[in-house]
Amino acid sequence: MDLGDKNHVVCVLNAEGDIATETNIKNDRESIKTLFGKYKNATVAIEASTHSPWISRQLASLGCEVLVGNPRKLRAIWDSDDKTDKRDAKMLAQIARFDPKLLYPITHRGKQAQIDLEILQARDNLVKNRTNLINHVRGSVKAQGERLLSCSTASFHNKVVDSLPEFLKETLMPVVTIIGHLTEQIKAYDRKIDHISKEQYPETELLLGIKGVGAVTALAFVLILEDPERFSKSRQVGSFLGLTPRRDQSGEIDKQLRITKAGNPFLRRLLVGAAQYIMGPFGEDCDLRRFGLRLSARGGKNAKRRAVVAVARKLAVLLHRLWQHGEMYEPIHSNSKSKLAKAA
């Protein structure tokens, strides 16, 4: 089934692999139930998209086996000179029939985890908007040859009022007021995140033992991975989050490429931010920091940036290990006690 925002295209193959039915259905629960109620125990292939989480859950409730293909891996579908919705649906069906592994199927997180994750994403959008508005106010004042006082983001709306130039107050005060409202709402989300973490996801307490990992990062890690047992090895988490380098090897050529950036970009950004704190001036002395500083000291082009990414990858692996084994984090460990920080 090729998913669309308003309509879906469905291609049904018979036992011989020939097209038995091609049809369009509306993008609503009743239409999906009416059509797929006839195909219980069938295998349904779809691509990951905005609607795929709830559609995959509904199809599973109707007794179908659902394969959610990874669009990044399905070049045969999206990179075609003759791309149509009908062709896409047919290709999905044929690939699923030939070898489902070629879809590189993904698993959507549960409904409650997705609902709780929306809290983090809503907060993230408020933070971005507040940053943009603060930059606008400071930039507007600088353009007039003035400069606002230095202060924290959370106190900006209170401390800059008196330092705003009189000729800009009428223009910028409404913006400052909105910044204040955003700050209050962000604080409300922070309280909600703390409450949810303690009441529903107590495992986040283990992850908070690493200085640089805050409540948002810890909860996002738990919600997005959802189940630590889905990975047989902790090293797989780095690849899952797109923090491992791409490979382009042929013969004696083995190029050094950028990271894949696969997986969830929100969590990847949070982990990189935590890695920057760990390697920054306020980071505590720990194995992660020492590892990053050793890489950075090697020099070379973009050494510091590469070191931050490497620390983020190592941090992701470490967080998974702590969560999976229920162990407390040791900033400086001995080899005899634990091998947690050796994972990379």
Q: What is the pTM of this model?
A: 0.87
Q: Which residues 6+ apart lie within 8 Å of 310 measured at CB?
A: 291, 292, 295, 344
pLDDT at site 119: 97
CA-based nearest residue to 130, from 194, 190, 184: 184
Give the separation between CA 161 and CA 140, rounded to whole angstroms.
14
Q: Which sign, positive or negative, has the C-alpha torsion 265, 269, 275, 278?
A: negative
Q: Are 212 and 274 part of one and the same domain?
A: yes
286 domain-assigned: yes
Q: Which residues 6+ apart lie within 8 Å of 142 measured at CB?
A: none
237 domain-assigned: yes
Q: Are 221 and 330 part of one and the same domain?
A: yes
Question: What is the phi/psi pair of residue 332, to 5°?
Answer: -120, 115
Q: Are 56 and 176 part of one and the same domain?
A: no
Do residues 107 and 52 make contact, with C-beta atoms less than 8 angstroms apart?
no
3-state class of 234 per DSSP? coil
Which residues of the chain, if any, have pLDDT below 50? 336-339
What does the pLDDT look like over 37-79, one tens digit per residue? 999 889 999 999 999 999 999 999 999 999 999 998 888 787 7
* Domain span holding position 44: 7-103
Give the separation between CA 290 and CA 285, rounded to whole angstroms.
7
Q: Are 98 and 133 part of one and the same domain?
A: no
Q: Where does a domain end: 103, 125, 148?
A: 103
Question: What is the phi/psi pair of residue 190, to 5°?
Answer: -60, -40
Q: Where does a domain end: 165, 200, 235?
A: 200
Cite the DSSP H helix spans in 49-207: 52-61, 75-78, 85-98, 111-142, 156-159, 166-200, 204-207
Give the separation between CA 297 and CA 278, rounded to whole angstroms.
16
1 domain-assigned: no
Q: Are 250 and 309 part of one and the same domain?
A: yes
Number of domains in the chain: 3
Q: Are 261 and 286 part of one and the same domain?
A: yes
167 domain-assigned: yes
Give the number of other Cβ atoms within 10 Å of residue 37's Cβ: 11
Q: Are 209 and 321 part of one and the same domain?
A: yes
